[in-house]
Amino acid sequence: MPKRDGRVTATDAYEALWSGSAVVALDRDVVRVRGPDAEKYLQGQLSQDVVALAPGQQAWSLLLQPQGRLVALAQCARVGVEEFLLVTDGGIGEAVVERLLRFRLRTKAEVENLNWRCLAVRGALAARPEPVVRVVEAHEAVEVPFQWGGLRGYDLLGAAPTAPPGVLALTGEDHEAARVEAGFPRHGSELDERTIPAEAGLVGAAVSFTKGCYTGQELVARIDSRGSNVPRHLRGLLLNGAAQAGAVLASPTREVGRLTSVALSPRMGWVALGYVARGTEVGEILAVASGPVTAQVHPLPLRTD
């Protein structure tokens, strides 16, 4: 909480992100899909059961290439009967639009990458008792609930959203530390067009196995039937010193992976995300880039409270 002289430290804001209420501007893209055929079309394109979403509900989903590779991890938020928002990392919106338009044949649905901004409000006090998608006129925004790992709250999305009163302002460094601790993968770091969803731990959060067919389903279903036996897995790592994303991770006998994100946590010290080869055990100590820094392998999330 704020100090007695009124100043707020980085640790105050970081802790508010978990247990209080804090806000940070994030680079997010919002793609709107609307029209009489929007529900039917997205049901055949996304991994999530879109038909099951009532207006005001949202769910994590995957947009895949026909071969099953990842285009985007996105929140699918149903704003109305014929209107959906797909919320994803900044810079990914155009790829989402291009992929959706490629298969939109004789379909009455508009697809548009909106020029919107995102204010992310996070913390236990920011989490709504009833997490629903709603229009917030006072903040000129749509409020979309957010939860991943231990991170909770909501995103204010709009052309010019305004932060609610009484929340602490976060630095990008504080948010990045929390993102890594929560194990929330980011496009350009943990995710790209080569990513197999099971490698990044996305299947449980973003795939419905009870809906009908969707583009890219075959690879997801085949890997799931084999127990998600993929060559590598995204893991959390606790480092004993500073390191750079992209650094090689090695066991005493071989290279086993690479760091994808590194951050300095006010609570946990140096934390990281990285892909490690199948067979690398939780608790194993790996060398980072053949240097003095080591990394201990942990399951995700690294922090849940």
What local confidence, expressed as pLDDT, does residue 5 receive?
46
Whether 59 has a pLDDT exceeding 80, the answer reads yes
What local confidence, expressed as pLDDT, does residue 228 receive?
73
Share of residues in the chain with pLDDT > 90 (%): 88
Q: What's the sign of the alpha-carbon dihedral 11, 15, 21, 24?
A: positive
Whether 14 has a pLDDT exceeding 70, the answer reads yes
What local confidence, expressed as pLDDT, does residue 290 receive?
78
pLDDT in tens, 184-197: 999 999 999 999 99
Over residues 177-187, mean pLDDT = 98
Please, what is the average pLDDT of the chain? Answer: 94
Share of residues in the chain with pLDDT > 70 (%): 97
Q: How confident is the model at residue 226 (pLDDT cuts 50, 70, 90)?
A: confident
C-alpha span between 229 and 194 (Å, rounded):
17
Q: Can you list the pairs that 264-268 forms with residues at least 24 positions away whose Cβ atoms lie under 8 Å?
A: 264/173, 264/177, 265/14, 265/177, 265/178, 265/180, 265/181, 265/303, 266/10, 266/11, 266/14, 266/15, 266/174, 266/177, 267/14, 267/15, 267/303, 268/181, 268/238, 268/302, 268/303
pLDDT greater at residue 151 or residue 290: 151
Q: How confident is the model at residue 64 (pLDDT cuts 50, 70, 90)?
A: very high
pLDDT in tens, 94-116: 999 999 999 898 899 999 999 99
What local confidence, expressed as pLDDT, does residue 1 receive?
35
Please give the domain boundaries of the chain with CATH numbers for all domains.
Answer: 22-165 (3.30.1360.120)
Answer for the pair 24, 169: CB distance below 8 angstroms, yes or no. yes
Answer for the pair 149, 300: CB distance below 8 angstroms, yes or no. yes
Whether 229 has a pLDDT exceeding 90, the answer reads no
pLDDT in tens, 111-165: 999 999 999 999 999 998 889 999 999 889 999 999 999 999 999 999 999 999 9
Over residues 47-59, mean pLDDT = 98
Answer for the pair 240, 271: CB distance below 8 angstroms, yes or no. no
What local confidence, expressed as pLDDT, does residue 10 receive?
66
C-alpha span between 151 and 178 (Å, rounded):
8
